Amino acid sequence: MIVDREPGHDALARAAELLRRAVRRRQPVAALTGAGISAESGVPTFRGSGGLWHGFRPEELATPAAFARDPQRVWEWYHWRRGLVLAAEPNPGHRALAVLEERLQDAFTLITQNVDGLHQRAGSRRVVELHGNLLEARCTRCGRVEPLAPEASGIPNCPACGAMQRPNVVWFGEPLPGAAWARARQAAATASVFLVIGTSAVVYPAAGLVEVAAAAGAGVIEINPEETPVSDLADSVLRQPAGEALPALLREAGIVPG
């Protein structure tokens, strides 16, 4: 196995070879994206200076207990976050993944830890949202999920049963949605190429998908300016932001014109 962990043409060429072969043979390809790809669109990350948690304690805002204690405060924070997301635009990394899906159709699965909907706005349709969607609300009684209007404020109520709604996201201490996790794990276990993009790879169980893919024999391509705990599992590492690396990878692989 040839492993390229340094930036430069060799790493890009190796990654392009893996992707080009998969596309030519119409073999399954999956991608896992994290906060880094959306940070390039101006969406704050959870970690580091200026992250979404800066100045807040997660247990005050993103747990079932916090919502039960003060749903108004929690909703205010999520409306603020939603405003940040709605002001952002998909970047070239998001759009490159939409192009890859268009080329591979049902042989491509996009798994995201992000809750901002930017992949869908870029044109992706086969998106598995592991942590939910910030632009939706879920009924606390009947479980019905509804999109939130851009101008929504206060505590919304379910149009079906009238009960209070909550943000349709996975909070600390909650399990991942069962159907989404099953789809994600299946995609990782059957992928011939697995792209790991802009994720710190420290949040489990999502980070474990890289291990699943590598163990099943997938060619793993990591795209991240920083080293992560899964870097050693990668066949090729591109130390660039997704907005630069993904368009370059598609060009090198001949998926889009060079």
Confidence (pLDDT) at 92: 98
The rounded distance, in Å, linking the Cα atoms of 72 and 67 is: 8
Greater model confidence, 97 or 80: 97
Mean pLDDT in residue range 100-113? 98
Where do the domains of the chain lie, and which CATH numbers do they carry?
1-43+90-131+173-258 (3.40.50.1220), 51-87+134-169 (3.30.1600.10)
**Residue 127: strand pairing partners:** 110
- Which residue in 104, 99, 84, 106 sits closest to 38, CA to CA? 84
| Mean pLDDT, all residues of the chain | 92
Which of the following is catalytic: 79, 94, 119, 131?
A: 131
Q: Judge contact between 133 and 112, C-beta under 8 A.
A: no
Q: 4: pLDDT confidence band, cut at 50, 70 and 90?
A: very low
Mean pLDDT in residue range 102-108? 97
Is 9 an active-site residue?
A: no
Residues 6+ apart with CB under 8 A from 222: 195, 196, 197, 228, 230, 231, 234, 236, 237, 238
Element (H, E) at 110: strand 108-112
Confidence (pLDDT) at 45: 75
Q: Which residues of 64-74 are buried (b: 16+ CB within 10 A; e: fewer)?
A: eebbeeebeeb
The rounded distance, in Å, linking the Cα atoms of 196 and 17 is: 16
Q: What is the pTM of this model?
A: 0.92
**185-211 pLDDT, tens digit each:** 999 999 999 999 999 998 899 999 999
pLDDT of 66 strictly over 60: yes
pLDDT of 53 strictly over 60: no
Confidence (pLDDT) at 258: 75
Mean pLDDT in residue range 150-166? 96
Q: 3: pLDDT confidence band, cut at 50, 70 and 90?
A: very low
pLDDT of 221 strictly over 70: yes
Mean pLDDT in residue range 50-75? 81
Confidence (pLDDT) at 65: 93
Residues 6+ apart with CB under 8 A from 173: 63, 64
Confidence (pLDDT) at 2: 35
Confidence (pLDDT) at 54: 56
Confidence (pLDDT) at 44: 80
